[in-house]
Amino acid sequence: MLRIDELHKRFGDVVALDGCSVEVAPGTMLGLLGPNGAGKTTTMRAIFGLVRVDSGTVTWDGTPVDIHRRRRFGFMPEERGLYPKMTVHWQLTHLGKLHGMSHAEASAAANEWLEIVGLSDRRDAKASELSHGNQQRVQLGAALLHNPELVVLDEPFSGLDPIASETLANLLLERARAGTAVIFSSHQLDVVEDLCEDVAIINRGRVVLEGRVTALRAASSRRYVDVTSPSSDDAWVAGLPGARVVQRANGRLRVALDEPMDIAEIARIAGADATQFVVEPPPLSEIFREVANDA
Ligand SMILES: Nc1ncnc2c1ncn2[C@@H]1O[C@H](COP(=O)(O)OP(=O)(O)O)[C@@H](O)[C@H]1O
Ligand SMILES: [Mg+2]
């Protein structure tokens, strides 16, 4: 498995990594989440030796990751570098060969992945002729076509619509189920919390929270209540101890509670002003805010 241990990195006065440690096992998918500037990209670049860390180690099954090991990894960097004038099929074949495949193997894998990402009909198009979204699909194929044991994707969901996000998430989960270790980054905590089970939340260069999304959310004592309300009168919320309205739209009210509260009691206080209640733990973004504020 991949083990990132106690990475430290400074860029001048900026501390980019401050003891960052993360593990990803084969057959699992980890979301590395955190706000802009948290250190996600630097961590990922460190796996590929693209940034020289001040201290710390990156190992695979206990052995330091070197150039040979990296050929069995796949990387989709944040800056999506394709050769603009070369055809889509050419680039994928070329990249497959860089990962040690023969020309015939790489060409066949390129065709297979163009099929998977839905770009077979653009096989002979130049990269520069593709839309942003389609270039992203080519990059995804490039990261995966040599069937890597680890795939690292930097912000793969950014710029994708919800349907494309779900397609991508399913593809990555399917890779994980096939035995690959998958790690991706995102600054959109609420976008990815439904897409992955395991997360590590990074802030200011170190992991501040990690584990199962469901467990992290459930561990918070705070709760959200989504209330379907026929009336626009929410004065009753003031009758709930430690409660406040956080959102109101489309006949729904979202109320944050500082402490879990019996739903029958909420219903009694709301009376006829509310018909349906769904109690949920806070979203990941809230959990992160709690931790960031404590730090
Ligand atoms: N090459 C670089 N030179 C100077 N500062 C950098 C460089 N790369 C990253 N940083 C700084 O390191 C911090 C972490 O950046 P980064 O790893 O890109 O964060 P994230 O990907 O989580 O947004 C930021 O403050 C960023 O400005
Ligand atoms: Mg980044």
pLDDT in tens, 208-246: 999 999 999 988 888 888 888 877 778 888 888 889 898
Write down the pLDDT at residue 165: 87
Distance CA 93, CA 99 (A): 10
* pLDDT greater than 90 at residue 266: no
Q: Give burial (CB, 10 Å; 0-12/13-18/19+) of 267.
A: middle
Chain segment 163-181, per-residue pLDDT in tens: 888 889 999 999 999 999 9
Q: Is 14 found in the same domain as 59?
A: yes
What separation in Å is there between the alpha carbon of 113 and the centre of ligand 2?
Answer: 26
Q: Is 224 found in the same domain as 212?
A: no
Nearest ligand to the CA of 156 is 2
| Count of domains for the chain | 2
- At 282, the amino acid letter reads P
Write down the pLDDT at residue 150: 98
Nearest atom within ligand 1 for CA of residue 202: 22
Question: Can you spell out the DSSP letters for 83-101?
Answer: -TTSBHHHHHHHHHHHTT-
What separation in Å is there between the alpha carbon of 230 and the centre of ligand 1?
Answer: 48
Distance CA 237, CA 288 (A): 25
What is the domain extent for residue 33? 2-217
Ligand 1, pocket-test mutation among 8, 10, 14, 76, most atoms within 8 A of CB = 14
Show which of 217, 233, 250 is a domain's final residue.
217
Write down the pLDDT at residue 49: 95
Span 265-285, mean pLDDT?
86
Write down the pLDDT at residue 295: 60
Nearest atom within ligand 1 for CA of residue 78: 21
Binding site membership of 40 for ligand 1 (Cβ less than 6 Å): yes
Q: Is 256 found in the same domain as 148?
A: no
Nearest atom within ligand 1 for CA of residue 36: 23
* pLDDT greater than 80 at residue 267: yes
Count of CB atoms situated within 10 Å of the CB of 177: 12
Q: Is 189 found in the same domain as 166?
A: yes
Determine which of 69-78, 79-88, 120-129, 138-147 has the lowest per-residue pLDDT on average.
Answer: 79-88
Nearest atom within ligand 1 for CA of residue 43: 17
Q: Is 88 found in the same domain as 30?
A: yes
Show which of 192, 217, 242 is a domain's final residue.
217
Report the nearest-CA residue for atom 5 of ligand 1.
11
Buried b (16+ CB within 10 A) or exposed e, 79-114: ebebeeeebbbbbbbebbeebebeeebbbebbbebb
Binding site membership of 37 for ligand 1 (Cβ less than 6 Å): yes
- At 76, the amino acid letter reads M
Q: Is 264 found in the same domain as 164?
A: no
Q: Is 244 found in the same domain as 182?
A: no
* pLDDT greater than 90 at residue 265: no
Q: Is 273 found in the same domain as 187?
A: no
Write down the pLDDT at residue 103: 97
Show which of 177, 197, 217 is a domain's final residue.
217
Q: Is 135 found in the same domain as 176?
A: yes
Binding site membership of 14 for ligand 1 (Cβ less than 6 Å): yes
Where residue 160 falls among pLDDT bands split at 50, 70, 90?
confident
The better pLDDT of the pair 261, 115 is held by 115
Where residue 186 falls among pLDDT bands split at 50, 70, 90?
very high
pTM of the predicted protein model: 0.89
* pLDDT greater than 80 at residue 28: yes
What separation in Å is there between the alpha carbon of 199 and the centre of ligand 2?
Answer: 16
**CA–CA distance from 261 to each of 195, 217, 258, 266, 289 (Å)?**
28, 16, 9, 7, 22
What separation in Å is there between the alpha carbon of 216 and the centre of ligand 2?
Answer: 23
Residue listed under structure tokens 């961590």:
43
Q: Is 245 found in the same domain as 211?
A: no
Report the nearest-CA residue for atom 1 of ligand 1.
11
Q: Is 185 found in the same domain as 228?
A: no
**CATH number, residue 227:** 3.30.70
Write down the pLDDT at residue 230: 76
Element (H, E) at 63: strand 63-64
Where residue 294 falls among pLDDT bands split at 50, 70, 90?
low
Chain segment 35-62, per-residue pLDDT in tens: 999 999 999 999 999 999 999 999 999 9
Where residue 162 falls among pLDDT bands split at 50, 70, 90?
confident
Q: Is 227 found in the same domain as 209?
A: no
Distance CA 118, CA 126 (A): 16
* pLDDT greater than 80 at residue 79: no
**CATH number, residue 102:** 3.40.50.300
* pLDDT greater than 70 at residue 99: yes
Mean pLDDT of all residues in the chain? 91
Binding site membership of 41 for ligand 1 (Cβ less than 6 Å): yes
* pLDDT greater than 80 at residue 143: yes
